[in-house]
Each structure stands twice: as structure tokens, then as C-alpha cells.
Chain A
């Protein structure tokens, strides 16, 4: 479900990480990013299939057609792009939000915005 990068690309990039000299700030930074990437891959393996299945079920209802995630997501993008679906359509927003909650739980579970999405919404106007 998640691309740019895919899990396969992350795995490939991880394979290219080399240990740097001890005490080197840049190498320490890269090591932290690599740890993050490994944790992301673990979460994606654990949570990704259920997230994708839920997204497919929502998209079938929203779009009124069948297909796999890639085809349905592409169809949603096309309909938003050409105006067949309105950006502020409540059904569209509900799907976007639910998909995003699942995706951020994989990409950045510590990110504050996840809490904002699930709780009381955006900062007060």
C-alpha cells in the first residue's frame, strides 16, 4: 500500500548502510535513520496487510467498483483530479483520514499529528 519508498526499496537501502567511524556525528545520524527504517519495516509487515484490506474495502464502497488497492487508489486519484469526486466530499475525507491513520501508524507512530487526527482535530481557529 505504501510507496515512495516501498518496503522493498527500504530493505535495499538498508543493505547499503555501512558502519561509520566511532564518534562520527554523520555516521551516528545515519545509524539512527537505519534503526528507524528497520522499525518501519517491522510495523509495515505487522500492520500493512490489514491496513490495505481495510482500504480496499472502503474504496470498493466509495467508488462502487472492484479491484486491488493499486487499481482502486489510482481510480480515486483520477476521479479527484478530474472533479468526478469533490475534494471536500465527506465520504472522500473519511476514507483519506482512515487511510492516513493507518499509514502514519506505520511510517511515524510517534508523530504528534496522529493524535491530532484521532482526537480533537486541528488547533483552534
Chain B
């Protein structure tokens, strides 16, 4: 299938004045999804997200139509997300896919936390992240597509099973599983819509200071689910997305209190720092286990690339965060 031709055929349905798709270029893609950028000939900048033909859906990933539905649900409530222009139908010839507006900004964490261009927006960014998360978490669940429900105990159990299957013997993970298990908050009576991957890399930041505080787009909704709002607040504080700015725990650009204040000010359920830190530690543990899983595809022979092998050596960076958090708690 020629993506470019299919998009040109679809152009009039994406924008009334358009007749063709230009500058079609694939940006990235894993086994489960691809991202393409293109313009319409009337100047509309767009993004196509699609499942590659024959692409295996990872167990946790949502159908793309669900991603699109979530963006369409949270956008009108004030969360910055790309506007969904079309959820593709079989006749569109693009497979499982949707088209959304392309936003301008930066997603590379290294630039966001370090470049001078972002110096003016960084001070307000953690608070703004808290506000945006409160908006997402307040989304009414009626009318949303079906989503998994998870809580701290079930996530811990799930990742411990994966860790056991890896055959690794990592005492930091062993200690962390027991430590977090003791402290796991009970499931919420009313779980909320959680983005599930709210961190540098999935946040589009504009360098122009504005009342919107630089965060112009929350991307990649494939891990969204129903759960504890503190999960999103803790995940963005995991050390692996601080890009060297480790004294700024919120994404390498902000402080815990700014994030929590923004969340509360925008109507979010009050979340204590301890609860956030629980989810940060669980996030580090999950990312560590994911590093082992990615290595496992090397060990099993499924992917013998040096890249897959080397990612296993990144598990130790998550252990740093865990040991520091356990020391603080001791």
C-alpha cells in the first residue's frame, strides 16, 4: 500500500479545500505503530498514526480508534491535544489509522530541559503539567471507549511476574517489590482516566511563553487506562526522563510542589508527596523491568541487534532511583 497515494485520495475529506497530500514522510515507528507527517496542498499540517500492516499490537497498547476517541474527549475540556481530523475506515486504504493536526513544538527532553530557547517556559512547566493532568483526570468516563482498570497492587504483581520470567536476579528489584507492596495504596473507589505515559518525549513544548505555559500537546495515548491520578504525577518524575537535570525531579524542569500545586489548583484530587513518590518508585521499577524485557527479545533470538542487547544495561539506572528513594524512606 502506498501511504502517500492513499493520503492524497483522502485529502478532500481531511480539509474541504485540499486535493492532495504533500511532503509525506515517516517519522518513527516501532512494531506496533507508525507515525507519518504530511501537509495538505491547502497548507494544513497533519500527522498520520497507523498500525503497520501485519504489525503486532503489544498487549498493553490500545486500538488507535480508542487513542483518537480519548484525544477527542479531553481536547474540548481544555487539555492540549492534537485535534483528531479523521479516524480511518477500511475504504481509506490505510488500515487501522487516524489523522490529527500537527502541532509545532519540541518533544526531545534533552532540549526542553537544557536549551536556552526553553529557559523562559521551564519555570512554569511543572505547574502547567499538574493543571493539564487534573483536566485529563476529570474527564467524565461516560461515553469513553472501554479501558483497562489498574491499581498499584495489580501493576506490582504484573511487573513482578514479568521480572520472575526474565530469570534476572536483581536484589534492588527484589527489595523494591517488597517495599512497594507494603505501601501500595488500595484501589480507588472511582478510578479516573490516566494518560499512562505522561513524560518528556510525549509532551510537545513550545518555546514561546504563553498563558498555556509552553505545553501545547499531550501525545501518545496508547497506554491510557483507568486508575490512580497519582500514577501520572509520579511517572513524569522518574529519573530516566530528567536528562541530567536531576535536581529538578519533574521531568528535569520542575519541583514536586509545583506539580502538586498545579494539579490541586485545577481541581485535582489532593495528592500527597508520599503518594506521588510511591508511584515514582513504581514507575522506576516498571521502566527497569521494561529494560529487561527489551533485552529479552535479544536473548530469545527474536532481535539480535546490539541496540536490544544494550538496553538491558540501562536497568541499572532505574535501580539508582529506587535505592535513593528507599534510602529516603528508611
Contact = CB atoms under 8 A, between A and B. Distances in A.
Interface residues of A, number: 51
B306 A30 contact: yes
A65 interface: no
Contact of B313 (A88, A108, A125): A108
Interface in A75-125: 76-77, 80-81, 83, 86-88, 90, 92-93, 95-97, 99-100, 103-104, 107-108, 111-117, 121-125
Contacts of B169: 3, 73-74, 77
Interface in B221-256: 239, 242, 244-249, 255-256
Interface stretch (B3-11, B131-139, B292-300): B292-300
B320 A104 contact: yes
A50 interface: no
Contacts of A30: 305-307
Main SS at interface, chain B? helix
A2 B292 CA distance: 13
A96 B324 CA distance: 10
A109 B169 CA distance: 22
B320 A114 contact: yes
A121 B246 CA distance: 10
Contacts of A57: none
Interface of A: 2-5, 9-10, 13-14, 16-17, 29-30, 33-34, 36-37, 40, 73-74, 76-77, 80-81, 83, 86-88, 90, 92-93, 95-97, 99-100, 103-104, 107-108, 111-117, 121-125
